[in-house]
A and B are shown apart, each in its own frame.
Chain A
Amino acid sequence: MRWRWRSGSAGPAVLADGHALSAAMLRQLFIGQCLVLALHLAWMPAWLAGIALVVAGYRYLQLRRRLPRADILVRLVAVGLLLVALWLQFGTLRGMDGLIGLLLGVYLLKLLETHDRRDARVVVLIGMVATTVAFLHDQGLLMAGGALLALAWLVQSLVWLSGATGVRQAWRETAWLLLLSAPLMGLLFVSFPRLGPLWSMPQIDQASTGLTDTISPGDIANLARSDARAFRVSLEGREPDPDERYWRVYTLSHFDGIRWTRATPQELSATLGRSEEQFVRLGQRSPWQESDSPRFVGEFLLEPDSRPWRPSLGAPLATDSRHRFLGDGTLEGIEALGSRSLVRIESSGRAPAWPDPAGARWHTLLPRDSNPRTRELAERLWRENGADPRAFLAAVMDRFGEAPFRYSLSPPRLTTADRVDEFLFESGVGYCTHYASAMAVLARSVGIPARVVAGFLGGERHPDGYFTVRDYDAHAWVEVWLDGAWERLDPTAAIAPERIDQGAQSIQEGADAFLADSPFSSQRMRDIGWANRLRLDWERLEYRWQCSVIGFQREARGAFLNRIADGLGDFWRWWGGLMPGRGVLATLLTLGVALAGMAGAGLLLGLWWRETRRRRDERVQWLSLQAWLSRRGLGPEFGESPSAHLRRIAPRAGAAGPALEESAGHIERLAYAPVGSDERRERLKRLARRVAEVRRRLRRRGSGA
């Protein structure tokens, strides 16, 4: 048995005995395994690659030194070791990662007992399953490209197993198969109805974005920030100005003196003793506010997250699928997203204009004895501004704009029970949550209903007009209830206006504070012009891919089919307008005639093609020539072969003689000699030309005589 790494040495898939796989085929299978494994390696432990190498090494030695096959004991021990390793790695075998690891491990170990054609085909089938499972990690462009490569390789392995005779042939057949099946695949992809999940499956644990539903200013000194994407959105119509790009996600309405927490509808109904129905409604349109004229309509491409949050510019008004509309003017999905998905959300662009069902009292609650100095300050400012809420709030904002307040992403830790006092009167350094928290406490101290809103601010605008919002765009601000509507107040704007205008990355305080955790972040490449352009191009491509292909789920598919139906309707009207006769019947009739005409043309084309193919057969050529000669009294004698016949009449044929001689030669070669396809084509062409020449010359002679 040979095991050579030269690519040209690919031999047949099975050995001469018709069963055992050749070394070349085993190598094929191994390369396929490597390609499939490569799709997983970014998410799975690297020692899986070690398994692949060990198994391949074992098979190599086995073939080289003619060692015995791996017996049942060796295989059982291998599987046992795999299970132990997975258990050590993940702590459990029940999780999705453990299951994927098991699948990959078994796939790699299967090579140990792959001996005949059937085993090899099983290996390829497992490889296809493993490729599909890789899509759980990611569905991006890179993954799709890698999977296409793996698929092509696996199909090519199957072609070898079915008896390919050479590398070129195997790849040509693979390419044909993939190309020919692609249109049908596309048709199925568009037309196959999309169903909801039939039963629940184990899920991969998704990381959560930087957004939290609890804010406790000062707990964490350094804000860990990542440039992971939270969502992408393209907006129809007018683009929001920089100071309008407040993506609301959660409201935090409960303050215990240290931290602000979110009160879910369930908690609210339990605390306030009212039904949950009063805080959240399921539907496609907001039950809280008329949704006649949405200010912004956005197509959101959301990254998977463990929580079902949905961002919106201002209060959400309507969506394209059923969602939970919360009374505080935020939106939730029915379940968390396991993969990227598209949602269309219409929103008002400003804070909700309806009273929160939890009531004004809920939004002015403060713990009785906490933060005394802050209350004192609030009352003083309230009195100074003549008990006018607007003047009071303006005064607070002004105060934040003055020294000693400073914006910083790495403020000192706050440790006392009265965090807001400590921040306002001692440290004076903080980021958005510090300011939002202080602002809300100040407003509540004088009886103005207030809540903290957690969400995102800004986002990177791409040249195509869509926005990418990342984790580090997370932001917190305040909403206060004034004159029958909630109003947005962002104290960070007073202290660090550039944060609003230019985005989070404009906050530079010591170049390394921002993104200290990700030294190779793409954001660091922004300064290099071509790299940034390349990055933007790649992101645009990725976005298109995600929107058009990956997001092609239920709603997108419905919209697409509607567009096609509309297109057909337009065509129908256009055709009806084009035709002289009016009415459905006339249109239908003319359309039928046009289609029949096209079909007829196609049929004629097919006939012509068949005729030319027929002409390529030398037998047809000489039979017709013989019949033609017979009509002129030059027919063959009994038992005479075609070439002998032509040679016999050649001397008497005058000018047609040489052509007859040459035709006889061609016919002989074509009929009896093993000619290659190139020579065959060439000779057929010449034969046709000579036959035409014979007819021409003989006819001329006939007419001359």
Chain B
Amino acid sequence: MPIASAVWPRTFLARWKRRSAASLALPLPQRRLFLLPTRFGLGWAVLVVVLLLFGINYQNTLAYILAFWLFSLGVVVLLRTWRNLLGVRVALRLPEEVFAGGEARLGLVVEGRRPRTALEFHAEGASLRLDLLEGRGEGVLALGAPRRGIQALPLLRIETRWPLGLVRALAWLDVADEILVYPRPLDDEESLHRLSGPGLEASDFAGLRRAEPGDSLARLAWKQWSRTGVLATKAFSVPPRQQLWLDYDACKGDAERRLSVLCARVLAHHQAGDRYGLRLPGMTLAQGEGARQRRLALAALARFRSPAPGEMPS
């Protein structure tokens, strides 16, 4: 059975990895660390043997000393590589929103009591290198998010070859967390057409709010700033122009395409400040507006399970 024999080791390896993975909450414990020699490490071992033979055959004391020293260096490197990884604590910063086809930018906050050097994080082809010079470091691991839905985060491999690259200390981290991947937004010409047009520009001055990085320079209240020294942004309100329903059944195409279109429309209507509700087969989201409505709508789209062909609502 060729298929089974090819599959079995892989599943076995995956199971073994998962079982030996460390959890995130604690500093990396000793039992979850693995040490593997690298190719360079094997070359080093051969070098030590060659130098030892050289010392024996030439009765050369300095060659003996060098061979012993290189061997001892190997042993010390084993310990130091292991120690570079031991007790590292990883905390996750889950990505706020992920759309299918984009990337899930997983934030890692890594702490070690000591300075650590050249820690590498790998997960599903993405990799990140961190140096914890002050015992703390942060980075972002860009994972792929190919499909909509609930996606379990993969095992995170953390490894290091510091200081000489002779051995590799590695551990698997069981993230035990999942992210919700929203559908890939797909702009429909029809919906775009309906959204654009006069009167949609936010134009009514609604007051001042504290400026945030990223605010348009054109909307900064410079006069206020010169008077008070506080940087503020002029906020304009868009009157809720439409009260509308986004309907699954009104879209064309297969289920995923419909969800993508709906996703794009949710984003657009949110931006426009509309009040909208969402109707999906078997689920209805009441009309609402604002960030909460957007989040609920997107989550509903992400979690949506297309009904089996037989039970398509008529």
Contact = CB atoms under 8 A, between A and B. Distances in A.
A69 B135 CA distance: 41
Given A125-B43, A177-B80, A677-B134, A136 B165 contact: no
Contact of B75 (A169, A181, A677): A181
B128 to A, nearest CB: 12
A579 interface: no
B58 A136 contact: yes
A104 to B, nearest CB: 16
B162 interface: yes
Given A188-B72, A197-B59, A161 B50 contact: no
B129 interface: yes
Contacts of B80: 176-177, 180
A185 B57 CA distance: 20
Given A125-B47, A173-B163, A189 B60 contact: no
Contact of A128 (B51, B61, B162): B51
Interface in B33-69: 40, 43-44, 47, 50-51, 53-69
A202 B174 CA distance: 57
B110 to A, nearest CB: 14
Contact of B117 (A128, A165, A181): A165
Contact of B76 (A161, A177, A192, A199): A177
Interface in A672-698: 674, 676-677
A158 interface: yes
Interface in A413-436: none
Interface string B126-151: 00010101111000000000000000
Nearest to A134: B62
A144 to B, nearest CB: 6
Given A181-B76, A197-B59, A163 B162 contact: yes
B244 interface: no
A370 interface: no
B60 A136 contact: yes
B61 A139 contact: yes
A85 interface: no
Interface of A is mostly: helix
A255 B296 CA distance: 117
Contacts of B66: 128, 131-132, 135, 147, 151
Contacts of A188: 68, 71-72
B77 interface: yes
Contacts of A551: 61
A309 interface: no
Nearest to A191: B68
Given A128-B66, A155-B164, A177-B76, A550 B47 contact: no
A189 B163 CA distance: 24
Contacts of A121: 40, 43, 165
A36 B302 CA distance: 63
Contacts of B58: 135-136, 197, 201, 338-339
B268 interface: no
B251 to A, nearest CB: 44
A472 B77 CA distance: 51
A183 B44 CA distance: 20
Interface in A162-178: 162-165, 169, 173, 176-178
A553 B69 contact: no
A184 interface: yes
Contact of A129 (B51, B72, B73, B75): B51
Nearest to B136: A674
Interface string A648-679: 00000000000000000000000000101100
Contact of B68 (A163, A192, A201): A192
Nearest to B46: A125
Interface in B261-298: none
B153 interface: no
B70 interface: yes
Nearest to A173: B163
Contacts of A405: none
Contacts of A178: 69, 73
Contacts of B131: 163, 165
B47 A129 contact: yes
B59 A338 contact: yes
Contact of A197 (B47, B51, B57, B134): B57
Contacts of B67: 132
A155 B166 CA distance: 12
Interface in B3-59: 40, 43-44, 47, 50-51, 53-59
A158 B165 CA distance: 8
A189 B165 contact: no
Interface string B99-136: 00000000000000000011000000000010101111
6 contacts: A132-B60, A162-B165, A173-B163, A189-B64, A197-B58, A197-B59
Interface of A: 118, 121-122, 125, 128-129, 131-133, 135-136, 139, 143-144, 147, 151, 155, 158-159, 161-165, 169, 173, 176-178, 180-185, 188-189, 192, 194-201, 338-339, 341, 549-553, 674, 676-677
Interface of B: 40, 43-44, 47, 50-51, 53-73, 75-77, 80, 117-118, 129, 131, 133-136, 161-165
Given A198-B53, A551-B61, 17 more contacts: A121-B43, A129-B50, A133-B54, A135-B60, A135-B63, A159-B163, A159-B164, A162-B161, A162-B163, A162-B165, A177-B76, A181-B76, A188-B71, A189-B64, A201-B58, A339-B61, A341-B59
7 cross-chain pairs, A with B, having the tightest CB-CB distances, nearest first: A163-B118, A181-B72, A184-B72, A188-B68, A135-B62, A185-B69, A185-B72
